């Protein structure tokens, strides 16, 4: 978060509020979200891309009604990938025509809701879905704007589970072998569809722009083939999300204006050489907007030194509020935030309270040697894919999201209660 400061007493404040006060009022663990930072990042993306491009915030990173309203106010669009995300977006007043609907297996009911609501685009992910969406739209007497998601065959340098443009995987239609061209042929024949463009998303937590360059080159190549075969120039391309953020000081993220400049230049150059009109570009950043804007506040429960190894620091949450360390071997940092300490640092592993030894929040970190139960520690950069991937493992209650801004805090997603859990258990 941007508004983080440490006071003379060592207590960290965010948005003008001390973390000790936040812990007292809202309990721990809690995700603390800096609203000003969120809005600033959203605006930076919007301004960087200007009026000739669209920025779709990827709701899967973190979605709540408050966030939808901030995005709406800051002029961003929204990418959703389930009926639940669509419902959240619509209930918070995001205009349907600013919503894109994604997913490799949207149900007929989800498609129907999206078409009825009038979403701006549905991103088609398979041959079967092309026909499915066309039929649903036609039966509702509508013509749905669609893009076709293709896999361009790029190896993004990121964790295998979050790389999505190589061909051997579940998303998209391969460009290779003429499959994408065939998908375009079929979509163009169906009355229920208005094909507006081609979509590519190469993966997530990426720093190297060269993958986007290759992707843009290949997407434009397809636009050219479409022009040559059908005599039409598709008006839009979407280059997906995936821009990396700094989880540790080793990561060196690009600024939105650098990304916008690079992507716009690549697409313009490729189109010039193919003698195509430059299409309208859209992007779908999720992590790069929300990731850095929140941290997780935990209370230390036990401190267990293991001779010659490391000290295990157990907190009151864990893999249920941050699965990323266990799932992707993700790196995080951690800091003592409730007081000052000049004790010698000790090597720690921050672990959760779940019944699993892989329940690790921060693998390796240093914390002051006098760390004790009751201290508050914070793990930064947990705004993306932490609350949204949270679980109830061990019937642990999912933490709230507390938004802070100019000295005021407000719960935007409340803490789960035991009643919430028991309400679902109807046996
Ligand atoms: N667009 C599409 C089509 C996507 O599939 C994704 C992410 C995004 C945009 C946004 O990507 P971002 O800018 O947030 O990297 N749970 C993983 C990340 C999975 C991303 C899935 N798709 C993680 O925690 O790292």
Question: For residue 166, what pLDDT is reported?
Answer: 72
Residues 6+ apart with CB under 8 A from 116: 140
Centre of ligand 1 from the C-alpha of residue 300, in Å: 31
Place of tokens 């805090």: 409
Q: Whose Cα sits closest to atom 12 in ligand 1? A: 242
Chunked into runs of 10 residues, the chain (427 residues) has average pLDDT values of 87 96 98 97 97 96 98 98 98 98 98 98 98 98 98 74 70 96 98 98 91 93 98 98 95 94 95 96 98 98 96 98 97 98 97 98 98 98 98 98 97 98 94
- Spacing, Cα 226 to ligand 1 middle (Å): 28
Ligand 1 atom showing the smallest separation from residue 285 Cα: 13
Is any ligand 1 atom within 6 A of the Cβ of residue 58? yes
Q: Measure the CA–CA gap between 233 and 224, rounded to whole angstroms.
A: 8
ipTM of the complex: 0.99
User: Has 242 been labeled as part of a binding site?
Assistant: yes
Atom of ligand 1 nearest to the CA of 164: 5
Q: Which residues are catalytic?
A: 355
| Residue 157: predicted pLDDT | 64
Task: Give me the pLDDT at residue 320, please.
Answer: 98
pLDDT given for residue 162 in this prediction:
59
pTM here is 0.97
Indicate whether residue 204 lines ligand 1 (CB < 6 A).
yes
Domains belonging to the chain, first-starting first, are 5-33+292-424 (2.40.37.10), 62-285 (3.20.20.10)
């Amino acid at each position: 978060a941007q508004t983080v400061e440490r006071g003379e007493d060592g207590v960290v404040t965010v948005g003008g509020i001390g973390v000790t006060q936040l812990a007292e009022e809202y309990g721990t663990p809690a995700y603390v979200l800096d609203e000003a930072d969120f809005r600033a990042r959203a605006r930076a993306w919007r301004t960087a891309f200007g009026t000739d491009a669209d920025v779709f915030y990827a709701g899967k990173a973190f979605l709540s009604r408050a966030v939808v309203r901030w995005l709406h106010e800051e002029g961003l669009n929204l990418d959703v990938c389930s009926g639940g995300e669509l419902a959240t977006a619509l209930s918070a007043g995001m205009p349907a025509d600013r919503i894109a609907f994604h997913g490799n297996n949207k149900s007929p009911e989800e498609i129907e809701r999206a078409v009825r609501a009038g979403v701006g685009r549905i991103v088609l992910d398979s041959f079967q879905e092309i026909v499915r969406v066309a039929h649903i739209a036609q039966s509702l007497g509508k013509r749905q704007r669609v893009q076709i998601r293709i896999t361009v065959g790029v190896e993004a340098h990121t964790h295998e589970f979050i790389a999505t443009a190589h061909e051997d995987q579940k998303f998209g239609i391969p460009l290779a072998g003429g499959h994408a061209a065939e998908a375009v042929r079929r979509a163009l024949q169906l009355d229920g569809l208005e094909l507006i463009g081609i979509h590519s998303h190469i993966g997530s937590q990426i720093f190297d722009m060269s993958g986007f360059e290759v992707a843009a080159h290949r997407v434009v190549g397809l636009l050219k083939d479409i022009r040559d075969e059908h005599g039409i120039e598709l008006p839009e391309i979407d280059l997906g999300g995936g821009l990396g953020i700094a989880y540790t000081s080793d990561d060196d993220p690009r600024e939105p204006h650098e990304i916008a400049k690079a992507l716009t230049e690549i697409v313009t150059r490729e189109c010039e050489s193919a003698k195509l009109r430059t299409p309208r570009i859209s992007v779908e950043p999720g992590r790069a907007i929300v990731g850095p804007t929140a941290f997780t506040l935990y209370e230390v429960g036990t401190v267990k030194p293991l001779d010659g190894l490391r000290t295990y620091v157990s907190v009151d949450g864990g893999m249920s509020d941050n699965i990323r360390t266990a799932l992707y071997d993700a790196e995080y940092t951690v800091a003592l935030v409730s007081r000052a300490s000049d004790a010698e640092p000790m090597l720690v592993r921050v672990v959760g309270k779940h019944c699993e030894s892989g329940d690790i929040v921060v693998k390796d970190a240093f914390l002051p040697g006098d760390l004790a139960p009751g201290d508050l520690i914070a793990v930064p950069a947990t705004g993306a894919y932490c609350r949204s991937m949270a679980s109830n493992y061990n019937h642990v209650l999912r933490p709230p999201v507390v938004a802070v801004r100019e000295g005021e805090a407000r719960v935007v997603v409340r803490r789960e209660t035991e009643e919430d859990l028991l309400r679902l258990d109807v046996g």
